[in-house]
Homo-oligomer: A and B are copies of this chain.
Amino acid sequence: MEVYDLIIVGGGPAGITAGIYAQRARLKVVLLEKLGVGGQIVLSDDVENYPGFRSISGFELMQKFEEQARAFDLTIVDCEVTEIRNEDGYQLVQTHDYDYKTKTVIIASGARSRRLGVTGEEEFIGKGVSFCATCDGFFFRGKDVLVVGGGDSAITEALYLAKIVNKVYIVHRRSELRATKILQERALENPKIEVIWDSVVEEITGSNTVEGVTLRNVVTDELVEIAVSGVFMYVGLLPNTEFTDVEKDDSGFIITDMNLATSVAGVFAAGDCRTTALRQVATAVGDGALAVTSVERYLNS
Contacts and interface: CB of A to CB of B under 8 A. Distances in A.
A53 B294 CA distance: 24
A293 B54 CA distance: 20
A94 interface: no
A38 to B, nearest CB: 12
Contacts of A65: 51-52
Contact of A24 (B13, B49, B297): B49
A8 to B, nearest CB: 14
Contacts of A64: 51-54
A277 interface: yes
A282 interface: yes
A285 interface: yes
A23 interface: yes
A21 B280 CA distance: 11
A209 interface: no
A32 B70 CA distance: 38
- The interface centre, meaning the residue of A13, A51, A72 with most chain B CB atoms within 10 A of its CB, is A51
Interface residues of A, number: 46
Nearest to A56: B52
Tell me if A's interface is mostly helix, strand, loop or mixed. helix
Contacts of A57: none
A46 B180 CA distance: 34
A151 to B, nearest CB: 13
A40 interface: no
A54 B52 CA distance: 12
Contact of A282 (B72, B183, B289): B289
Contacts of A17: 51, 282
Nearest to A278: B293
A293 B297 CA distance: 29
A285 B68 CA distance: 18
Contacts of A53: 52, 64, 68
Contacts of A289: 49, 278, 280, 282-283
Contact of A26 (B52, B71, B182, B287): B182
B181 A24 contact: yes
Interface string A271-294: 000001110101111111110011
Interface in A89-138: none
A259 interface: yes
> What 3 A-B pairs are tightest by C-beta distance, nearest first?
A286-B286, A26-B181, A282-B289
14 contacts: A13-B51, A20-B51, A24-B48, A24-B49, A24-B180, A26-B181, A49-B289, A51-B285, A51-B288, A53-B64, A72-B182, A277-B293, A277-B297, A282-B288
